[in-house]
């Protein structure tokens, strides 16, 4: 089957969105929206795989879902052009995930590094959902036969798993897929990760060897999309650095993770390659560079932040957008998942 190019990606509504989410994923989404049919999802079913204390429980979740939806729109996703919805409103995700649970192998899931990181030492106490997280992610993508998935570097392994699941489904059910009239046996595409830009892995402001993350105990480690201008400037000013001035060439960043991270963030925010940033700031002290970085960060994040606030003042409108997005998403996913049921051999009325 020749697959029409289609983009799918998502974010979890747990805690604040941060600069890593914005630069690693959302900026790419806004670009891809200009050239592709795109589907962007708030993955609320993924959010509840963690302990209730992490996602906030039933009193917090609706607000978190709206807040992530508002961030998408404020960052530049146009909900008329692209499809924007929350995962739990389209039950085909969960249905396809079950079929994929029976296609994916335990050995594949045992290799997932993000599960090991998130489960930590107390693995016996992690939810089954956390273990199964990448299978649901494969279902998210393949329920739409999406071909391209723009994400940050940390999602690469999950996308390899999604490809393995697609491939094994195509192989396991090859005969049935042909009988259903798909002559080349390719029921699902092998979705491609799109991991591009100078900030595919934004690191913590406190430790250049650790990823910027929602779960870091120190709020100084990350810039939240909801931080005001003073907070952004203060966090950048406090960011860990080394005593040397900035190098003039990228090779000079190799053994300097904190410097490398700040230059990468600047480059992504200013929309320039890292080399151009170093041509401008090579030889400068961090005090000078941090001031410039704070300025560019505030000028990019400030308007997104203000627009998010404006949108969140009308929660009913966000709910309406999500419901309409879910209706459009389902119109694509339902026929595909119905066909999966036929291919597997389920009876349906
Ligand atoms: P989440 O919410 O953890 O992350 C959302 C996106 O932000 C990117 N990201 C980063 N990029 C650069 N530097 C960082 N420090 C950083 N931290 C996070 C992530 O790579 C991701 O692109 N499992 C997904 C959500 C998901 C999904 C999907 C994505 C569920 N189903 C289907 C794509 C397709 C996740 O990581 O969410």
Percentage of the chain surpassing pLDDT 90?
Answer: 97
Quote the CA–CA distance of 263 and 272 in Å, as a whole number. 10
Q: Is the pLDDT of residue 16 over 90?
A: no
> Does the pLDDT at position 346 exceed 90?
yes
User: CA-to-CA distance for 96 and 329, rounded, in angstroms?
Assistant: 14
What average pLDDT does range 44-67 have in this prediction?
A: 96
Mean pLDDT to the nearest integer, 59-73? 97
Check: CB of residue 248 under 8 Å from CB of residue 279: yes
Cα distances from 305 to residues 53, 224, 266, 298, in angstroms, run: 25, 9, 18, 10
Tell me how far the alpha carbon of residue 21 lies from the centroid of ligand 1, in angstroms: 7
Give me the pLDDT at residue 61, please.
98
Averaged pLDDT, 3-30 = 95
Residue 112 above 90 pLDDT?
yes
Span 95-113, average pLDDT: 98
Contacts of 125 (CB under 8 A, 6+ apart): none
The residue whose CB lies within 8 Å of the most ligand 1 atoms, and thus the one to mutate among 14, 16, 21, is 21
Q: What is the pLDDT of residues 157-196, one digit of tens each?
A: 999 999 999 999 999 999 999 999 998 999 999 999 999 9
Query: Which atom of ligand 1 is found nearest the CA of 11?
Result: 2
Arithmetic mean of pLDDT over the chain: 96
Residue 316 has pLDDT above 90, yes or no: yes
Ligand 1 centroid, distance to 82 Cα (angstroms): 18
Q: Is the pLDDT of residue 215 over 90?
A: no
The pLDDT of residue 197 is 85
* Spatial strand order in the sheet of 192-194: 83-86, 37-42, 6-11, 148-150, 192-194
- Tell me the CA–centroid distance for residue 261 and ligand 1, in Å: 18
**Ligand 1 nearest-atom number relative to CA 202:** 13
**Ligand 1 pocket, CB under 6 A:** 8-12, 20-21, 24-25, 43, 46, 137, 140-141, 149, 151-152, 154-155, 200-202, 211-212
Structure tokens at 163: 């490809």
309 is catalytic: no
Verify whether residue 214 is a known catalytic residue. Answer: yes
d(CA 51, CA 287): 40
Decide if 238 is catalytic: no
Residue 69 to residue 88: CA distance in whole angstroms: 14
Q: Nearest to residue 270, comparing CAs of 248, 290, 252, 293?
A: 293
Q: Would you say 100 and 138 are in contact if contact means Cβ atoms under 8 Å apart?
A: yes
Same fold, 6-200+315-344 and 219-310: no
Q: What ligand 1 atom has the least distance to the C-alpha of 214?
A: 17
CA distance 126 to 153: 24
Cβ neighbours around 193 below 10 Å, total: 19
**At 198, is the pLDDT very low, low, confident or very high (cuts 50, 70, 90)?**
confident
- Domain residue limits, the chain: 6-200+315-344, 219-310
pLDDT at 261: 97
What pLDDT, on a 0 to 100 scale, did the predictor assign at position 43?
98
Contact, 30 vs 22, CB < 8 A? no
Average of pLDDT values for 235-244? 96
CATH, domain 219-310, list 3.40.50.1820, 3.40.50.300, 3.40.366.10, 1.10.240.10: 1.10.240.10
Ligand 1 pocket, mutate which of 7, 15, 17, 20 (most atoms under 8 A from CB): 20
| Res 123 pLDDT > 90 | yes
Rounded CA gap, 332 and 328, in Å? 7
Banded pLDDT at 240 (limits 50, 70, 90): very high
Residue of 34, 116, 118, 309 with catalytic role: 118
Q: What is the CA radius of gyration of the chain?
A: 21
pLDDT at site 343:
98
Nearest CA to ligand 1 atom 16: 20
pLDDT at 264 over 90: yes
How much is the average pLDDT of 316-345?
Answer: 98
Q: What is the pLDDT of residue 15?
A: 79
Cα of 205 from ligand 1 centre, angstroms: 19
Question: Which of 7, 8, 11 has most ligand 1 atoms within 8 Å of CB, for mutation?
Answer: 11
Instruction: Quick: pLDDT tens for 288-312.
Output: 999 999 999 999 999 999 999 999 9
pTM of the model: 0.97
- Token pair of 45, please? 């079913």
What residues contact 40, with CB distance under 8 A and at least 6 apart? Answer: 8, 9, 10, 29, 72, 77, 82, 83, 84
- How many other CB atoms are there within 10 angstroms of residue 127's CB atom? 13
Q: 268 with 198: CB under 8 angstroms?
A: yes
> From the CA of 241, how far away is ligand 1's center (Å)?
26
CATH fold, domain 6-200+315-344, is Rossmann fold (3.40.50)
Distance 288 CA to ligand 1 centre (A): 32
């Amino acid at each position: 089957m020749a697959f029409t190019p289609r983009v799918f990606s998502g974010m979890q509504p747990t805690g604040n969105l941060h600069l890593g989410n914005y630069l690693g994923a959302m900026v790419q989404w806004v670009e891809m929206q200009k050239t592709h049919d795109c589907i962007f999802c708030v993955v609320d079913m993924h959010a509840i795989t963690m302990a209730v204390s992490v996602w906030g429980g039933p009193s917090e979740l609706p607000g978190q879902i709206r807040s992530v939806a508002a961030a998408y729109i404020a960052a530049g996703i146009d909900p008329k052009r692209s499809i924007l919805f929350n995962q739990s409103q389209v039950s085909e995700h969960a249905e396809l995930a079950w079929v994929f649970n029976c296609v994916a192998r335990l050995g594949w899931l045992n290799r997932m590094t993000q599960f090991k990181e998130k489960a930590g030492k107390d693995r016996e106490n992690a939810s089954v959902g956390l273990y199964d997280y990448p299978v649901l992610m494969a279902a998210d993508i393949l329920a739409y036969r999406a071909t391209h998935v723009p994400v940050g570097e940390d999602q690469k392994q999950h996308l390899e798993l999604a490809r393995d699941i697609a491939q094994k489904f195509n192989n396991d059910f090859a005969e049935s897929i042909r009988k259903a009239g798909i002559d080349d046996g390719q029921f699902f595409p092998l979705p491609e990760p799109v991991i591009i830009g100078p900030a595919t892995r934004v690191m913590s402001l406190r430790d250049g060897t650790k990823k910027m993350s929602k779960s870091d105990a120190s709020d100084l480690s990350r810039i939240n999309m909801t931080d005001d201008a003073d907070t952004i400037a203060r966090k950048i000013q406090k960011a860990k650095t080394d005593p040397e001035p900035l190098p003039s060439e990228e090779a000079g960043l190799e053994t300097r993770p904190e410097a490398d991270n700040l230059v990468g963030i600047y480059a992504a925010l200013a929309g320039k390659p890292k080399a151009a940033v170093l041509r401008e700031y090579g030889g400068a002290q961090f005090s000078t560079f941090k001031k410039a970085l704070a300025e560019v960060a505030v000028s990019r994040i400030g308007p997104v932040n203000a627009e998010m606030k404006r949108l969140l003042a009308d929660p009913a409108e966000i709910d309406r957008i999500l419901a309409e997005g879910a209706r459009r998403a389902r119109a694509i996913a339902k026929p595909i998942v119905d066909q999966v049921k036929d291919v597997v051999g389920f009876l349906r009325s």
